[in-house]
Amino acid sequence: MIIAVDGPAASGKGTIARALARHYKLPHLDTGLLYRAVAATVLREDLTPEKEADAVSACSFEDYLLEDPWLRTDEVGKIASVVSAHPLVRAALLHRQKKFAHQPGGAVLDGRDIGTVIAPDANVKLFVKATPMIRAQRRHLELRKNGILTSLDKVLSDIRARDERDSKRSEAPMTQAADAVLLDTSFLSIDAAVQRAIAIVEAAKAKTTSAPA
């Protein structure tokens, strides 16, 4: 079973994807970490993220880099949004993601183009969203817990700018797949959002089981 979980930053898609992976005992891949790994390599090697050739040269990173906590910082996240807009970067990471999705037994992947590009054949597709302000409040709280002081207005501005880049890029823009189920987490607790996601998966499984041969 392949479960695709898409959505914008701070929508809760990562939390939901990890919970689904635990519930169904499936491997999980946060595909955003791949782009963050590229971004981290760009930063460490003092490359220019806006230059496609520089970003592509940073795609040959080792898997252990995905475990580096630095990848989840706001600094790396901003650069990841820039490098992910390059078509050749997306092409370089495409096979890696498809291979993970189609491993025996299936997997859970979260990102922005899982249901549309990486695994359009996924058994279940969710598109997780929340209002920009709610997402900014979540990210602002997360940053404060990590000792990073910044204003809510700045976080909201960054969220909106990232949404703009992700949805307007020419290659694999962030969009809800036609057959994806929308899950709005704006006013849901984490537990409620996860239970709703499990219900969506169960409904999809039941539909498949009852479908005529």
Strands across the sheet containing 124-129: 28-30, 107-111, 2-6, 124-129, 181-184
CA distance 115 to 108: 11
Whether the Cβ atoms of residue 125 and residue 6 lie closer than 8 Å to each other: yes
Query: In the chain, what percentage of residues exceed pLDDT 70?
Result: 98
Q: Output the CA angle 145-147-153, nearest 5 degrees.
A: 80
> What pLDDT is recorded for position 148?
82
pLDDT score of 143: 86
The C-alpha torsion from 42 through 43 and 48 to 54, rounded to 10°, is -10
pLDDT of 81 reads 87
Q: How far apart are CA 127 and CA 170, in angstroms?
A: 20
- Pairwise CA distance, residues 66 & 20, whole Å: 20
3-state SS, residue 170: coil
pTM: 0.88
Could you report the per-residue pLDDT of 123-173, keeping only the tens digit for each? 999 999 999 999 999 999 988 888 888 999 999 999 999 898 888 877 788
Where residue 212 falls among pLDDT bands split at 50, 70, 90? Answer: low
pLDDT of residue 115: 96
Reported confidence tier of residue 33, pLDDT bands at 50, 70, 90: very high
pLDDT score, position 171: 77
Between CA 80 and CA 31 the distance in angstroms is: 11
Q: Which structure tokens are listed for 35? A: 């782009």
pLDDT at 213: 53
pLDDT at 138: 93
75-115 per-position pLDDT tens digit:
898 899 899 889 999 999 999 999 999 999 999 999 999 99
Would you give the distance in Å from CA 92 to the centre of its chain?
17
In terms of pLDDT, which residue wins out, 147 or 211? 147
**For the residues 58-80, what does the mean pLDDT come to?**
91
Of 67-76, 161-170, 179-188, give the range with the top mean pLDDT: 179-188
Q: What's the average model confidence in pLDDT over 11-22?
A: 97
Quick count: other Cβ atoms within 10 Å of Cβ 79?
21
- For residue 158, give both structure tokens: 């960054």
Q: Torsion-angle region of residue 173: left (phi > 0), alpha (psi -120 to 50) or beta?
A: beta
List the domains of the chain with CATH numbers.
2-194 (3.40.50.300)
Give me the pLDDT at residue 211, please.
60
Closest C-alpha to 131, from 154, 160, 109: 160
